């Protein structure tokens, strides 16, 4: 339990095309489901009471500070770390006992983890060869994947002949070329410079939409999460604080932690003066009162972090909006 497993091969090369076995494959609308999952490293519980359903084709981001358990959750989907209790399903099939190489998962990490002495072609083709895909199909699929990441014709290059951003594109091509059920991305942009990061954000979203793949993205960058995701899971110390659309977690943070993590500047402390369903009037420490909406019922007298400035000033369609237009209002 809680043991970290070593990948026998480079991470994004992934695994097998074999179905994991079990029930109702293909009819479940959830790509990934966690039920009451706990993950411990020895006595240390890194993730607790974690339940989450991720709809097929959606882009879900795990957002939270360093050490909150984001990578641990991602690794548990890939089978790189064992869960201590609860269950994980992929495509409606429980995978608790399914080894890494039988999970059809694409992985992209912060460090590109390309084979340094293999060409781009061989790097991208790796997962296909592993699955015994016919040679002619391999060539065609590699070509398509390289076109998708906008590096056509780079087959003969070595990773060392590419920039960091280009290497990350190759890592992405390698992860999607075998059409995995789920694409896991662990801080794939943090090693890139600001301009490249921005470009890759757009690029990753485009590819995810074009392929319809389910993507689970990990970041501690709020802007990245707000601009890319259909839904954001805000994590804190191994627990889920809130799940919602970018707009929901930004405009109606469920806890002070979420409000703080998604933008301290607009947070005003106060006391709940009156409650009307999910709406409440908060008496601010500075004297004024503001109306707030909460995703959870509030009780009178409770301390509350309000974000009135954000609610008035921010519109999902405004130019300064932190949200991607496509992300608003969609649920997974």
Ligand X SMILES: Nc1ncnc2c1ncn2[C@@H]1O[C@H](COP(=O)(O)OP(=O)(O)OP(=O)(O)O)[C@@H](O)[C@H]1O
The size of the interface with ligand X (CB under 6 A), counted in residues, is 13
Does 86 sit near ligand X (CB under 6 A)?
no
With contact defined as beta carbons under 8 Å apart, do 280 and 291 qualify?
yes
Does 70 sit near ligand X (CB under 6 A)?
yes
Q: What whole-number distance in Å separates Cα of residue 299 and Cα of residue 94?
A: 39
DSSP string across 195-240? HHHHHHHHHHHHHHHHHT-EEEEEES-HHHHHHH-SEEEEEETTEE
Does 72 sit near Mg ion (CB under 5 A)?
no
For ligand X, the closer of residues 48 and 231 by Cβ is 48
Q: What whole-number distance in Å separates Cα of residue 227 and Cα of residue 205?
A: 10
With contact defined as beta carbons under 8 Å apart, do 269 and 302 qualify?
no
Contact segment (CB under 6 A) with ligand X among 38-46, 177-185, 202-210, 240-248 equals 38-46
Smallest separation (angstroms) from ligand X to the CB of 242: 16
Smallest separation (angstroms) from ligand X to the CB of 94: 22
- Kindly identify the residues of this chain, within the stretch 204-223, that bind ligand X according to CB under 6 A: 220
- Kindly identify the residues of this chain, within the stretch 4-23, that bind ligand X according to CB under 6 A: 4
Does 66 sit near ligand X (CB under 6 A)?
yes
Does 52 sit near ligand X (CB under 6 A)?
no
* Closest residue by Cα to residue 234 from 251, 214, 255, 213: 255
Q: What whole-number distance in Å separates Cα of residue 82 and Cα of residue 75?
A: 9
Does 71 sit near Mg ion (CB under 5 A)?
yes
Neighbours of 301 (CB within 10 A): 10
For ligand X, the closer of residues 190 and 315 by Cβ is 190
Binding site for Mg ion (CB under 5 A): 71
Binding site for ligand X (CB under 6 A): 4, 41, 44, 46, 64, 66-72, 220
């Amino acid at each position: 339990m809680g043991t970290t497993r070593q990948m026998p091969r480079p991470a994004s090369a992934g695994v097998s095309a074999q179905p994991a076995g079990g029930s109702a494959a293909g009819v479940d609308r959830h790509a990934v489901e966690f039920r009451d999952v706990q993950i411990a490293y020895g006595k240390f519980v890194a993730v607790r009471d974690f339940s989450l359903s991720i709809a097929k084709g959606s882009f879900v981001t795990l957002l939270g500070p360093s050490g909150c358990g984001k990578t641990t959750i991602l690794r548990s989907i890939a089978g790189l770390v064992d869960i201590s209790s609860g269950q994980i399903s992929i495509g409606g099939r429980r995978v608790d006992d399914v080894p890494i190489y039988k999970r059809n998962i694409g992985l992209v990490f912060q460090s590109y983890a390309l084979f340094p002495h293999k060409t781009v072609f061989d790097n991208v083709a790796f997962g296909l060869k592993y699955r015994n895909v016919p040679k002619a199909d391999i060539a065609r699929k590699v070509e398509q994947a390289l076109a998708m990441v906008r590096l056509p014709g780079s087959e003969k290059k070595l990773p060392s002949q590419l920039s960091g951003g280009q290497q990350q594109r190759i890592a992405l091509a390698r992860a999607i070329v075998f059409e995995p059920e789920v694409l896991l991305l662990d801080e794939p942009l943090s090693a890139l410079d600001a301009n490249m990061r921005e470009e890759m954000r757009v690029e990753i979203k485009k590819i995810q939409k074009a392929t319809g793949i389910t993507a689970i993205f990990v970041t501690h960058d709020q802007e990245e999460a707000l601009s890319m995701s259909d839904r954001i899971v805000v994590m804190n110390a191994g627990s889920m604080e809130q799940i919602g659309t970018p707009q929901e977690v930004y405009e109606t943070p469920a806890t002070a932690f979420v409000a703080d993590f998604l933008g301290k500047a607009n947070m005003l402390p106060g006391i709940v003066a009156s409650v009307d369903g999910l709406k409440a009037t908060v008496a601010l420490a500075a004297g004024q009162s503001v109306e707030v909406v909460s995703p959870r019922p509030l009780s009178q007298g409770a301390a509350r972090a309000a974000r009135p400035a954000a609610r008035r000033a921010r519109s999902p369609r405004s130019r300064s909006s932190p949200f991607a237009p496509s992300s608003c209002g969609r649920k997974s």
